[in-house]
Copies of this chain bind each other. A is one copy, B any other.
Amino acid sequence: MPSTQASLSPGILSLLPMFYVAWSDGILSPTEMSMIHSKIHQYDFLTDDDRAYLISWTDPSRSPSKAIFAQWIREITRHGAQLPESDRHGLAQLGWEIATKISDGSNKQKWMSEATRSSLLEMEKILGVEHDDSSALILNRFRTDREHYQRDPASQIDTKALHEFLEGDGKVMRDRLRALLSDPSFSTEYRATKKEYRDWALEKCQVLADQGYGLLALPEYVGGQDNMTDYASVFELLAHYDGSLTIKFGVQFGLFALSILNLGTREQHEKYLHRAGTLALKGCFAMTETGHGSNVRGLETTATYDKESDSFIIHTPRRQAGKEYIGNALHGEAAVVFAQLIVAGESHGVHALYVDLVDADGNDLPGIQREDCGYKMGLNGVDNGRLYFDQVAVPRDQLLSRFGRVSDDGTYHSDIENPNKRFFVMLGTLVGGRICVASAGLAMAKNALHIATAYAHKRRQFGPSDDEPETLLIDYPSHQMRLIPRIAEAYGIGFALTDLSARYMDDAEKNKKIESLAAGLKARATWFATSTIQECREACGGAGYIWENGISQLKADSDIFTTFEGDNTVLIQLVAKGLLSDFSREFHDEGFRAVFRRLMQQANTSITEKNLLNVRKTDAAHLLDPVFHREALRFREKHLLHTVALRMRRYIKQKLSSTDAFLRCQNHMIALAHAYVDRVILKAYHKALETCPMEIQPTLRHCAEIYALDMISRHKDYYLEHGYMEGSKTKAVRRILRQRIQSLKGSSLALVEAWGIPHSCLQSELVQ
């Protein structure tokens, strides 16, 4: 009977990692056993002694003793610890690397050969340890010791290169703002009363304006820089720092100034924009009403043209029609007010007007009534309030007239004849705001992930025994599951938003598709922020609840992001409607039914023929193949699209009103929109992989794999229900996902550090 021996040969070591896992993980079947025997006899890289030793350990009735196990793991760790991280993808690879490394001159050639490596990979398959839970744990054990992450968290990946890739252009401006936010005058403290918090936010807004940040997005002819990209970067960076300041800044320089820019004429720009961009004129964006948030078309405030005084009379017909949640409502000196425009008794739909709220002395003008919304869950530095108008007269030239105006003779004119189309063009101004809110939500989620990941790398709780150190939180599989897939998803959402911004800035692309994408990513990024910050709070335990540790304020401030600038549930349905109408348009000519049959046939063929093997394919190469990921995500989206289209068409054909038909399909449509956004993010990930520098590619690929497998895994019920995968495959997906997550834990801290959030912005005692 074999016993421990002084030193193990390359041949034995080449197979030892696999044997270790096979033994610790289960019992081999007789068939597998006989295959292993015959392979061991065939392998020319083994000596006879090697063969005897290895075969002795294939007898299921003779389990290795504790001492043998200890020797095995010691030997593997000893050699394995010296190998660079990237070389250890699996047990066979590990064994091969060790053997190659310790074999001497004459045998080295044989060991280095591809044939030898293939033989080992083949054995890995036979033993069934290819991507086993235990493999992951053991590989991991060789990789690092518990202290490692703490000592040198960033050693595994090129944090600097990754950070620079993420920064893209505009680094100079970003670094300048980072420096400002790290200035002692920007240090933060808890501000308990809304008064002190609001005063602070206004003061800091002025500091930003004085530095020129308010003019960034405005045209050069009003003193601006016409640089929307930099404006968006400022907004995003501010979100790392303070939610109230971010929103205050966005209301003034985004909603207020940019709505004048988008809806006003050149003369109006010249009249208002420089003052707006320097905060010499404080303004609000008064769209939402108490009774009408999402349904902007149903706003009730009226702007009735009065020919006699040549002015518009702004009026709030009932309390529910008051302007609600308006940021800057208390500090504001003017407002862009959205109202039903009525000219000569005829309504022309919602239009925006520039309305003064105060006279030259700063006193409220007659007919203006303001009300404080009071305290909120968060963002208490923003002076949200309600505005009511009692027959307030506004000169004719204050109608923002780019898309509709009243001429000298008192008649209404617009270059866009269709009122429907006009409405959507005017609302297009919201798209930029949605992209900004999405970025801000993601930024705040990143703060939380940074804090929670740093904490997980230093906080210990419970341990194997009294004389060993307690276990780091990040070493718990459940804790890895909480944080790492979210880090991967944050990267993906970031790439998708970068893509979207670039397309949005490109005027040629300003179309329905971009609006739909912005709606979808706004919903996704902000829901992601809400759930991620929540998870991070819990992952930090009691410490996460304390204000000075930074997470609680992120939660309170970002919570409303899922609602404002478009309620997520409404936006996600817009996305689905967009997809459906694209689909209908595409096939309008060919005849719906025919096309539909063809598509369903294709879908079914792809399951039954092409995927006949795929439905139960569980090897790692396939499961990690980006093509598999793309196809799986596309299948879910397309299948949902086709089935919802079929249902809608059937209902409509069967005389249901489109509202009723839509209500019947509502949950189905929401599922479709989510599937679409999932795929868009993966696409952006893959695009980033193509363009990123070589040195960060492996890391990003690893993250992309986790993102894709996580999405597949979350929707495995769908894949199983529709026969796209079998149970054996969804189980394999879960296993390999877990393994990929586990093997990223060492780099997880470097991944959050690469975001480059200034330390001062984290405002957390938990990050040191």
Which residues of A line the B interface, CB within 8 A?
23-26, 63-64, 66, 69, 133-134, 137, 190, 192-194, 288, 292-295, 298, 324-325, 373-378, 461-465, 470-471, 475-478, 481, 530, 534, 537-538, 541-542, 544-548, 551-553, 555-556, 559-560, 562-564, 567-569, 650-651, 653-657, 659-660, 663-664, 666-667, 670, 716-717, 720-723, 727, 730-731, 738
Contact = CB atoms under 8 A, between A and B. Distances in A.
A657 B66 CA distance: 11
Nearest to A713: B717
Q: How many identical subunits does the complex contain?
A: 2
Nearest to A68: B655
Nearest to A134: B664
Contacts of A541: 293-294, 563, 567
Contacts of A553: 377
A288 to B, nearest CB: 7
B730 A717 contact: yes
Contact of A721 (B133, B562, B730): B730
A545 B377 contact: yes
Contact of A293 (B461, B463, B534): B461
A375 B547 contact: yes
Given A375-B547, A538-B562, A659-B464, A654 B720 contact: no
A546 B192 contact: no
- Judged by DSSP, the binding face of A is helix
16 contacts: A24-B656, A192-B193, A292-B461, A293-B461, A294-B461, A295-B461, A295-B462, A295-B470, A374-B546, A377-B551, A476-B666, A538-B562, A538-B563, A716-B717, A716-B721, A717-B717
Contacts of A657: 464
Contacts of A567: 541
Contacts of A555: 377, 559
A567 B716 CA distance: 29
Nearest to A195: B192
B650 A26 contact: yes
Contacts of A295: 461-462, 470
Contacts of A721: 716, 720, 727, 730-731
Contacts of A463: 659
A547 B667 contact: no
A540 to B, nearest CB: 9
A255 to B, nearest CB: 15
Closest 6 pairs (CB-CB, A-B) = A377-B552, A720-B720, A375-B547, A721-B727, A717-B717, A464-B659
